[in-house]
């Protein structure tokens, strides 16, 4: 087996983190990395202490489940809570960020976004270029070899 690149390695971890998601509409995981070191992880889940979608159902507004905090924002929150500096870091996300998550990523100073699956919002391409944020779509045949379906 060929050794995984750093991008593949951290995306594999994001895929595993996504397995903790509690909103079945979209299982997303994220990993914030600085200097090839994991600084924080996050997944789609409800506000701490409140019931999850997989327990009580979705809370839908305009076609979106608003019960959850997205993986990217959860990773940013965890980094802040743990005192991790993420300015200049990279974030690996199993799906491209929604517009609100993208804005949060930009404002905390993350400089590189790596994602596997494009999800909805094309504005991220133009704005990331204007801000000097590297946006990378990682193309792979299979996320984790020998992983259970």
The DSSP code sequence of 23-47 is -TT---EEEEEETTEEEEEEESEEP
What structural domains and CATH numbers belong to the chain? 6-137 (3.40.140.10)
Q: Which of 72, 116, 117, 134 is catalytic?
A: 72
Start-to-end CA span in the chain (Å): 20
- Can 72 be counted among the known catalytic residues? yes
| pLDDT number for residue 143 | 55
- CA separation for the pair 79, 114 (Å, rounded): 18
Burial of 74 (0-12, 13-18, 19+ CB in 10 A): buried
pTM here is 0.90
Residue whose entry in the numeric block shows the structure tokens 């990331």: 128
- From first to last of its 149 residues, what are the pLDDT tens digits of the chain? 789 999 999 999 999 999 999 988 889 999 999 999 999 999 999 989 988 888 998 888 888 888 899 999 999 999 999 999 999 999 999 999 999 999 999 999 999 999 998 988 899 999 999 999 999 999 886 655 544 44
């Amino acid at each position: 087996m060929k050794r995984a690149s750093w991008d593949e390695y951290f995306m594999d971890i994001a895929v595993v983190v996504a397995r903790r998601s509690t909103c079945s509409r979209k299982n997303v995981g994220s990993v914030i990395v600085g200097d090839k070191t994991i600084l924080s992880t996050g997944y789609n889940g409800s506000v701490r202490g409140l019931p999850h979608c997989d327990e009580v159902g979705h809370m839908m507004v305009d076609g979106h489940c608003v019960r959850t905090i997205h993986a990217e924002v959860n990773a940013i929150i965890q980094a802040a809570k743990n005192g991790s500096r993420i300015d200049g870091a990279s974030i690996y996300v199993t799906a491209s960020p929604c517009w609100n998550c993208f804005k949060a990523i930009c404002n905390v100073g993350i400089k590189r976004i790596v994602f596997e699956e494009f999800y909805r919002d094309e504005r991220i391409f133009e704005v990331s270029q204007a801000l000097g944020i590297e946006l990378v779509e990682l193309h792979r045949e299979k996320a984790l070899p020998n992983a259970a379906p």
